[in-house]
Structure 1
Amino acid sequence: MRLRFLGSTSEAGACPSLYETDRGTIVVQGLTLTDPAARADLRHVLDGESAVEVPRELLVRIAREVLGGGDPEARVTDHQ
């Protein structure tokens, strides 16, 4: 699988970040969700799965860019 960096809201170019794969899926890089109460709210977590937390703003901005209609000047910080 190959990844293409889509963007980040991090000033340092670290997480959280989103990537598009050559399989038509999205990879999310972020801090692992460790809060026990929040983890208890997750449903159907399979072996090998994890949950990460990302800002809503990042998802909205990337969705606008990928799906079109977004302002190209408002691109999410791109630290490749």
Structure 2
Amino acid sequence: MRLTFVGKDPKSNPTGSPTVYRTDRGSWIVQGWIVEDPGVLGQMDIPEGEACVEIPDRMLQFFRQEP
């Protein structure tokens, strides 16, 4: 899989998150803050081998694709 950098949170430090990547398989990779709150995770049905990360609204701009 090849990754293409799309954007980094302008409010993150130089090595921080969140960051958005596009893959050559028609998918996205999101680097973000690990969700560890049991109350939040209890509201989700996350299968083994999967995880979730949290990103702020200001990152949504990086999910817009040009035609």
**Which whole-Å CA distance do the structure 2 matches of 1:7 and 1:54 have between them?**
12
Residues of 1 paired with 2:24 and 2:50: CA distance? 20
TM superposition outliers: structure 1 runs of 4+ over 6 Å = none
More strand by share: 2
Q: Name the % identity.
A: 37
TM-score w.r.t. structure 2 length?
A: 0.83
Q: Which runs of 5+ in 1 are unaligned?
A: 69-80
- Residue 67 of structure 1, CA deviation: 3.9
- Give 1:13 deviation, angstroms: 4.2
TM-score, L = length of structure 1: 0.71
Structure 2: how far apart are the matches of 1:36 and 1:67?
Answer: 38
User: How many angstroms apart in 2 are the aligned matches of 1:13 and 1:5?
Assistant: 14
* Larger helix proportion of the pair: 1
Consecutive unaligned residues of structure 2, counting only runs of 5 or more, are: none
Count of paired positions: 65
Q: Quick one: distance in 2 between partners of 1:29 and 1:63?
A: 13
Please give the alpha-carbon distance, in whole angstroms, between the structure 1 residues aligned to 2:15 and 2:59.
13
Higher relative contact order (CA 8 A, sep 6+): 1
Counterpart of 2:18 in structure 1 is: 16
